[in-house]
Each structure stands twice: as structure tokens, then as C-alpha cells.
């Protein structure tokens, strides 16, 4: 299981956010640039760009939530999907 860490490009008016795996900043999962323009662009790391679109959308949304709120986002799922519950550890 991976733990994803979210970083801002700078402490004041960051123009991008970066997501890395397991606290290793060299293992870039995602960079979302264009935060100041409102036209964001996602760039995926080599190991991560082949993940299903649903997973990439989930991670991008989760990272944006952590970036904006400074807190964790936890999804609650019920029934047979409960085993697939994910949490974003930022």
C-alpha cells in the first residue's frame, strides 16, 4: 500500500502541487501545474500514468483536497466495495 504526500511548489502563491509516494520526493506520482491561472495541467510520473483513469481522477481530487484544506480525505464505502476503500494520507 502506498502513502501519498502532497507538497506545494512554494510557501507563498504556489503555482503547482506535487504528489510523491511514501515520502520519497524522487518518486513523483503527479504534478498539477497552473494553479494560479485556473487552468490546471496534470503530469503523471512514469510508474503512475498507466493507472486507470478512475484511479488517477481519485488521486488528483484527493491531492487537491489535501492541498486546499491541509487535511486528509477519507472515503467511506459500504457493501462489497468496502474492501476497496482508499484514503489519501497527505
Of 86 and 28, the structure prediction assigns the larger pLDDT to 28
Sequence-separated (6 or more) residues with CB below 8 Å from residue 61: 73
Regarding beta strands 24-33 and 41-44, do their DSSP bridges make them parallel or antiparallel, or are they unpaired?
antiparallel
Cell of 12: 507563498
**Residue 56 pLDDT exceeds 60:** yes
What residue segments make up the domains of the chain, in order of their start?
4-88
Q: What is the pTM of this model?
A: 0.74
**Residue 77 pLDDT exceeds 80:** no
Which pLDDT does position 82 carry in this prediction?
Answer: 40
Q: 17-55, pLDDT tens digit by residue?
A: 999 999 999 999 999 999 999 899 999 999 999 999 999
Amino acid at each position: 500500500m502506498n502513502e501519498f504526500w502532497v507538497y506545494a511548489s512554494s510557501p507563498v502563491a504556489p503555482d503547482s502541487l506535487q504528489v510523491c509516494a511514501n515520502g520519497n520526493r524522487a518518486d513523483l506520482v503527479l504534478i498539477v501545474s497552473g494553479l494560479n491561472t485556473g487552468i490546471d495541467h496534470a503530469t503523471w510520473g512514469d510508474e503512475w500514468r498507466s493507472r486507470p483513469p478512475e484511479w488517477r481522477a481519485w488521486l488528483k481530487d484527493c491531492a487537491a483536497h489535501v492541498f486546499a484544506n491541509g487535511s486528509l480525505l477519507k472515503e467511506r464505502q459500504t457493501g462489497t466495495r468496502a474492501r476497496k476503500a482508499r484514503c489519501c494520507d497527505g
